[in-house]
Each structure stands twice: as C-alpha cells, then as structure tokens.
Chain A
Amino acid sequence: DVKVTQSSRYLVKRTGEKVFLECVQDMDHENMFWYRQDPGLGLRLIYFSYDVKMKEKGDIPEGYSVSREKKERFSLILESASTNQTSMYLCASTTLTGGASEEQYFGPGTRLTVT
C-alpha cells in the first residue's frame, strides 16, 4: 500500500514562528503536492513539485515556501506564521506514469493552529 505520512497530526505555533511541515512518501513518486483545506473553501493547492529540487507555485503560494531535497520528502515552510495560516494542511503524491490514472495519494493531514 502507498503510504504518505506527515510529521504531525496537530501543531500549535505562535505568530511569527518559522514552521516546518514534513511529508514523506514511500512509493518512489515523482510528484508531490501541498494543499490547505478550510471550511467553505475546499482544498487549495499551495505548491507542488515534479522532481527533486523542482517546485512550482500553486494557487495560493503567498506566505509559504517548499523544499524537496530528496525524492521521498517534501517540506512546507511557513517563514513567519500568521493567524490566517491556521488550517488543515494535506500532502499528496502521485507517479508520473503518463497513463490515464494519476491518482493522488493523500496523507492524514496536519491541523495547524497559529495563536
């Protein structure tokens, strides 16, 4: 079974802190994604990566950065956390097969609260 794990299920940080959210997948997937999910807004794509050291902005990249130094690991960084970044953060991965199905496998999510 594909496994996508996230470093924490729950996290509480203070305004202005630097926050690291880690995601690891064990299926040698090329593509990895970070989303945030908020009530009434659904899931929104923050950043994604097609390969090691490559990254592309999603729909809401402001206030975030990412790092992909190894294929299996994709980190989301909040340089200076703010209260409006309180949210559920979901990591996902998929393989670049070129086939019809590019199913994304999601991690369990990290619920981040910034106070």
Chain B
Amino acid sequence: LAKTTQPISMDSYEGQEVNITCSHNNIATNDYITWYQQFPSQGPRFIIQGYKTKVTNEVASLFIPADRKSSTLSLPRVSLSDTAVYYCLVVIYNQGGKLIFGQGTELSVKP
C-alpha cells in the first residue's frame, strides 16, 4: 500500500482558504486518494475521494496532478469548526475498503 506524507500541523485564520498537500510517490494505477477528517473524541469522517484532476463537493475540493504523486485538499473559507486532524489515504480500488492511516495534519483555525 502506498505510503503518504503530509505536514504534521498547520495554522490558519477564519475565512482563509486552506490547502493541505499530501505526497504519495508510489501510488499504483488502481489506487484512489481519499481524505478523512477527525474531530477530538470522534471517529474519522470521510470528506472526499478522487482519482485524477479535480473533484469538488460541498465541503472541499481535491486537486490531483497528472502524475498522481501528490494531491491537495482545499478547504474554502475555513471556520473555527474546521479545526481537526485531516488524513490523506491511498485506497486500493475495490479491495474491501482496507485503509492505512498516517499521522494526519492537525489543522488549527484561529479567530
């Protein structure tokens, strides 16, 4: 399974756009890139998943360049409630959902 590397922590202010970059140099052809969010004392929650180019939903956007060796999670206009740990994962397509979580990025949003 492909290993991911992302910053340990990031700080931001309310209303700013936050971009968290993840590298996954040995991603395989059938792998998907997935991001989860975890608040303290809760289980992780799925945010977004993509294979290539750009994916957008009501929460975030995910940018994946052509070589797929990295990806960027973009959170538009963050608020205090976006303070959480964000995990970047590489998921093997149709392999029963087995996930390998890295350390994640602890995002702190300040007023």
Contact = CB atoms under 8 A, between A and B. Distances in A.
A108 B42 contact: yes
Interface stretch (B60-68, B69-77, B91-99): B91-99
A106 interface: yes
Contacts of B103: 40, 42
Most A CB contacts (10 A, CB to CB) among B32, B94, B96, B97 go to B97
A4 B42 CA distance: 12
Interface residues of B, number: 23
B43 A107 contact: yes
Contact of A104 (B32, B41, B51, B99): B99
Interface stretch (A63-71, A75-83, A93-101): A93-101
Contact of A45 (B41, B44, B45, B98): B98
Interface of A: 4, 31, 33, 35, 40, 42-45, 48, 50, 59, 90-92, 94, 96, 98-109
Nearest to B85: A42
A50 B96 contact: yes
B102 A42 contact: yes
Nearest to A30: B96
B10 interface: no
Interface in B45-91: 45-46, 49, 51, 87, 91
